[in-house]
């Protein structure tokens, strides 16, 4: 059975467009869903202890270092197990929410989800698909002020996930009807 990892990062619960879109996308897909809600269960920021633990070879880590990486290890395992990752991307101040950035920091691990080679970094999460549900009040996807979608696309690619589709309800505060119409058309194409 297909494994789907749904990640929501909107601080809004009621009326969240990105949450609505991730739910609708997951409903279209056939598979077993793991739901990670970064607003309901916030993740910690990485710390100096985490960094030292992460860069200590696994076989040399102390029990305290293994504990420092336990949550990151669990998040990485969820991502590794997923065939499709559905990510809610509300745009906050032209970029990704801090909750989503914390998740990225915890799963982007050298030697685990990517590695360095003589030809540069190589993502280790190949063969996965990502569908991103982007919602914004005034930031148009791909515009000069959109730092969210290029960043997330880059980070997914950095980890080896290059099959990325965006479902976008952008500029909702400018023309909500047009923004939702665009997202509906993209959802219909995804379902086809």
Taking a C-beta distance cutoff of 8 angstroms, is the pair 120, 6 a contact?
no
The residue with tokens 């669990």 is 74
Closest among 76, 167, 85 to 127, alpha carbons compared: 85
Residue 17 among known ligand-binding residues:
yes
The answer to the question of whether 9 is labelled as a binding residue is no
Tell me: is residue 72 an annotated ligand-binding position.
Answer: no
* DSSP code string of 62-86: -HHHHHHHHHHHHHHHHHHH-SEEE
Compute, in degrees rounded to 10, the torsion defined by CA atoms 9, 10, 14, 18: -90
- Is there a binding annotation on residue 18? yes
Residues paired with residue 37 on neighbouring β-strands, in sequence order: 8
Residue partners of 108: CB distance under 8 A and separation at least 6: 114, 155, 158, 159
Phi, psi for residue 61 in degrees, rounded to 5? -70, 140
Compute the distance between CA of residue 77 and CA of residue 5 in angstroms, rounded to an integer: 11
- Which residue ranges are tagged as binding site? 10, 16-18
- Which residue ranges are tagged as binding site for FMN? 10, 16-18
């Amino acid at each position: 059975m297909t494994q789907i990892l749904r990640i929501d990062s909107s601080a809004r619960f009621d009326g969240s467009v990105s949450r609505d879109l991730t739910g609708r996308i997951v409903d279209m897909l056939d598979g077993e869903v793991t739901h990670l809600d970064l607003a309901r269960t916030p993740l910690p920021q990485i710390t100096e202890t985490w960094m030292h633990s992460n860069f200590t070879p696994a076989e040399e880590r102390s029990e305290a270092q293994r504990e420092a990486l336990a949550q990151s290890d669990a998040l990485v395992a969820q991502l590794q197990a997923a065939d499709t990752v559905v990510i809610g991307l509300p745009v906050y101040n032209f970029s990704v929410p801090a909750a989503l950035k914390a998740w990225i920091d915890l799963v982007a691990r050298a030697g685990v989800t990517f590695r360095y080679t003589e030809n540069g970094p190589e993502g280790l999460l190949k063969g996965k698909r990502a569908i991103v549900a982007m919602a914004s009040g005034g930031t148009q996807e791909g515009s000069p002020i959109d730092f969210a979608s290029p960043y997330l696309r880059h980070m997914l690619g950095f980890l080896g996930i290059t099959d990325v589709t965006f479902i976008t309800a952008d500029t909702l505060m400018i023309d909500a009807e047009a923004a939702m119409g665009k997202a509906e058309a993209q959802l219909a194409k995804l379902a086809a």
